[in-house]
């Protein structure tokens, strides 16, 4: 059950990550899990599947275009702002 769940999770991750790629499976995967009793009877052996992945070519270029850009106008006004006077503890 756990093996099946892990396999589905890994395959889902590959499907999302490689959606724009051409993937060709080259070899089947195989996992021999170690068998335990009181002591280890068999060593584990893991063989991961091989994939030939061809990713798409992506070119990022720059080009000049004229677009409308909002501007901000500045003006001077007289406004009332708070004035805080602080006397250090030594001057009290």
Tens place of pLDDT for every residue, the chain, 92 residues? 666 776 666 666 656 555 656 778 888 888 888 887 777 777 888 888 998 888 888 888 989 999 898 998 999 999 998 888 888 777 66
| Residue 23: count of CB within 10 angstroms of its CB | 13
Question: What b/e readout covers 6-18, taking b as 16+ CB neighbours within 10 angstroms?
Answer: eeeeeeeeeeeee
Q: Is residue 82 part of a domain?
A: no
Is residue 85 situated within a structural domain? no
Q: First and final CA of the chain: distance in angstroms?
A: 75
pTM of the model: 0.22
In a domain, 90, yes or no: no
Spatial contact of 26 and 48, defined as CB atoms under 8 Å apart: no
Residue 81 lies inside a defined structural domain of this protein: no
- Flag whether 75 is in a domain: no
- Domain hosting residue 25, numbered range: 1-50
**How many domains would you assign to the chain?**
1
């Amino acid at each position: 059950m756990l093996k099946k769940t892990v396999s589905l999770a890994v395959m889902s991750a590959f499907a999302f990550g490689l959606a724009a790629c051409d993937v060709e499976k080259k070899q089947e995967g195989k996992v021999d899990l170690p068998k335990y009793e009181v002591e280890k009877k068999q060593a584990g052996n893991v063989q991961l599947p091989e994939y030939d992945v061809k990713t798409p070519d992506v070119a990022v270029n720059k080009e000049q275009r004229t677009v409308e850009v909002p501007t901000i106008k500045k003006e001077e006004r007289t406004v009332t702002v708070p004035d805080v006077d602080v006397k250090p503890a030594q001057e009290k």
